């Protein structure tokens, strides 16, 4: 039977996808914490990213199953599983490997261009992100020590909370190892931007896909400062009360999910989406795509604080330029002053931990 026109077109499209993926730079991405609530859907999304030629999935448990599962997806891929005993080979150009246990961490990391870290415990109702510090600080420190050894040039996308402290911990670990490059360390705050866009679009009644809202500061409560005065498309339909409510909802977005999940963790699916958006931006920057701009919590001189989230231009070496705050409304200026105390103490807590341990 002759293939229908539709099937013929689909085959042609697939061939084109394969050839364009082959033309892209070979990029290795590692996900640490890959078997978790964020890690699994993030692994799926990174497997679908045509810029990724090799995907390493690392966790302290459960990774081979996730890797086997993800590896069966027929995105352009030569899929290799770990351990090598169970290697089904498919056609294509990217590899998915699952690693479990510390002894395999080095292999998972070696040669990585981007390392994404969603390893660590999530919140339960009634907890703050800072309540996760005692467990997650040690996890992040251990993983960053391995990164400094096995892939010191990788861009590190820190998802593990409290981001306001885990990023400073990572910086101190890298400094101690002599591998710190401030252009390559990112706290992932993309979920705040994703939320701000969604909530703004709903309230301003504008198409969500066209919305842009910068979110600055940090990633916890009042340190999350959406700049709705700079939102595009601009809306004059929103009152000051609307902006206050949108700001509060963005700041409390994580808690909204934690409460809705009622003890079963925090945002995973929206976070995986946000993590994939940010990692994709990092990969595009590495590949020389011009004008890639995302908000991220990075080493900064935008304020007097050593780390701060703002718009960042991404390039071949990671951060190409940390962009300023632009014009703020009076309400946002007040929010900026109010967040500094908490953000400063979270940063200092991270630095102190890294020095003491
Ligand atoms: P989860 O418990 O579902 O998954 C965490 C995974 O980390 C688990 O599979 C666990 O085995 C693994 N893990 C623990 N220690 C590890 C280690 N030493 N090495 C490798 N893996 C290790 O949690 P989750 O819902 O995926 O959330 C993970 C983290 O992400 C939490 O700290 C959470 O607060 C944070 N988070 C951040 C954002 C953000 O916007 N930055 C959004 C959502 C969640
Ligand atoms: C979020 O913003 O959803 C995450 O930081 C997870 C949390 O604990 O709220």
The pLDDT-based confidence of 78 (bands split at 50, 70, 90) is: very low
Q: Which ligand is nearest to the CA of 121?
A: 1
Statement to judge: residues 235 and 344 lie in one domain: yes
The reply to whether 8 falls in a domain is: no
Mutation test of ligand 1: which of 161, 166, 350 has the most ligand atoms closer than 8 Å to its C-beta? 161
**ipTM, interface predicted TM-score of the complex:** 0.99
pLDDT in tens, 104-114: 899 899 999 99
Q: Whose CA is nearest to atom 29 of ligand 1?
A: 160
Q: What's the whole-model pTM score?
A: 0.92
Q: What is the CA(119)–ligand 1 centre distance, in A?
A: 4
Instruction: Summarize the annotated binding site for substrate as residue ranges.
Output: 123, 129, 161, 195
CATH number at residue 266: 3.90.110.10
The catalytic position among 72, 82, 219, 240 is: 219
CA of 242: how far to CAs of 86, 192, 230, 237, in Å?
56, 18, 15, 9
Statement to judge: residues 113 and 161 lie in one domain: yes
pLDDT at 13: 33
pLDDT in tens, 147-194: 999 999 999 999 999 999 999 999 999 999 999 999 999 999 999 999
The answer, yes or no, to whether residue 20 has pLDDT greater than 70, is no
Statement to judge: residues 197 and 254 lie in one domain: yes
The reply to whether 85 falls in a domain is: no
Statement to judge: residues 40 and 69 lie in one domain: yes
Q: What is the mean pLDDT of residues 63-92?
A: 59
The answer, yes or no, to whether residue 277 has pLDDT greater than 80, is yes
Q: Is 219 a catalytic residue?
A: yes
Q: What is the CA(254)–ligand 2 centre distance, in A?
A: 4
pLDDT at 204: 96
Q: Could you tell me which residue, 355 or 3, shows the higher pLDDT?
A: 355
Statement to judge: residues 231 and 342 lie in one domain: yes
pLDDT at 24: 62
Give ligand 2 pocket residues (Cβ under 6 A): 122-123, 129, 161, 191, 253-254, 257-258, 266-267
pLDDT at 89: 32
Range of the domain at 262: 190-356
Mutation test of ligand 1: which of 135, 266, 275 has the most ligand atoms closer than 8 Å to its C-beta? 266
Statement to judge: residues 119 and 241 lie in one domain: no
pLDDT in tens, 298-318: 999 999 999 999 999 999 999
Statement to judge: residues 153 and 207 lie in one domain: no
Averaged pLDDT score across all residues of the chain: 89
Statement to judge: residues 145 and 247 lie in one domain: no
pLDDT at 3: 38
Does 66 contact ligand 1 (Cβ within 6 A)?
no
pLDDT at 5: 31
Q: Which atom of ligand 2 is nearest to the CA of 267?
A: 3
Q: What is the CA(111)–ligand 1 centre distance, in A?
A: 23
The answer, yes or no, to whether residue 14 has pLDDT greater than 50, is no
Statement to judge: residues 38 and 154 lie in one domain: yes
Statement to judge: residues 201 and 314 lie in one domain: yes
Identify the domain boundary among 188, 218, 235.
188
* Contact criterion met (CB below 8 Å) for 223 and 337: no
Ranking 5-14, 125-134, 190-199, 245-254 by mean pLDDT, the lowest is 5-14
CATH number at residue 104: 3.40.50.720
Statement to judge: residues 176 and 281 lie in one domain: no
The reply to whether 226 falls in a domain is: yes
The pLDDT-based confidence of 26 (bands split at 50, 70, 90) is: confident
The pLDDT-based confidence of 263 (bands split at 50, 70, 90) is: very high
When divided into structural domains, the chain yields a total of: 2
Instruction: Summarize the annotated binding site for NAD(+) as residue ranges.
Output: 33-39, 59, 136, 159-161, 271
């Amino acid at each position: 039977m002759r293939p229908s026109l539709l099937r013929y077109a689909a085959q042609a499209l697939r061939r084109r996808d394969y050839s364009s993926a082959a033309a892209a730079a070979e990029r290795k991405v590692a996900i640490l914490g890959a078997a978790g609530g964020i890690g699994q859907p993030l692994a799926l999304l990174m497997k679908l990213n045509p810029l990724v030629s090799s995907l390493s999935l690392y966790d302290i448990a459960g990774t081979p199953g996730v890797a086997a599962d993800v590896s069966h997806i027929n995105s352009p891929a030569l899929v290799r599983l770990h351990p090598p005993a169970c290697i089904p080979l498919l056609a294509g150009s990217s590899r998915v490997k699952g690693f479990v246990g510390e002894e395999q961490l080095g292999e998972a990391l070696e040669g990585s261009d981007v390392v994404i870290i969603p390893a660590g415990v999530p919140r339960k109702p009634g907890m703050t992100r800072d309540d996760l510090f005692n467990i997650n600080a040690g996890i992040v420190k251990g993983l960053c020590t391995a990164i400094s050894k096995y892939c010191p040039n990788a861009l590190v996308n820190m998802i593990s909370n409290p981001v306001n402290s885990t990023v400073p911990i990572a910086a101190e670990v890298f400094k101690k190892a002599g591998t710190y490059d401030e252009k390559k360390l990112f706290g992932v705050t993309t979920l705040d931007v994703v939320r701000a866009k969604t909530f703004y679009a709903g309230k301003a009644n504008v198409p969500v896909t066209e919305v842009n809202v910068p979110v600055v500061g940090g990633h916890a409560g009042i340190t999350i400062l959406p700049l709705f005065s700079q939102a595009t498309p601009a809306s004059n339909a929103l009152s000051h009360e609307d902006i206050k409510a949108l700001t509060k909802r963005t700041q409390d977005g994580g808690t909204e999910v934690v409460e809705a999940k009622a003890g079963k963790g925090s945002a995973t699916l929206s976070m995986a989406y946000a993590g994939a958006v940010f990692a994709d931006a990092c990969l595009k920057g590495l590949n020389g795509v011009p004008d890639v701009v995302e908000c991220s919590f990075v080493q900064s001189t935008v304020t007097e604080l050593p780390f701060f989230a703002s718009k960042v231009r991404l390039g071949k070496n990671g951060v190409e330029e940390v962009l300023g705050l632009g014009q703020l409304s009076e309400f946002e200026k007040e929010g900026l002053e109010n967040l500094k105390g908490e953000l400063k103490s979270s940063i200092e807590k991270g630095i102190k931990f890294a020095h003491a341990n």
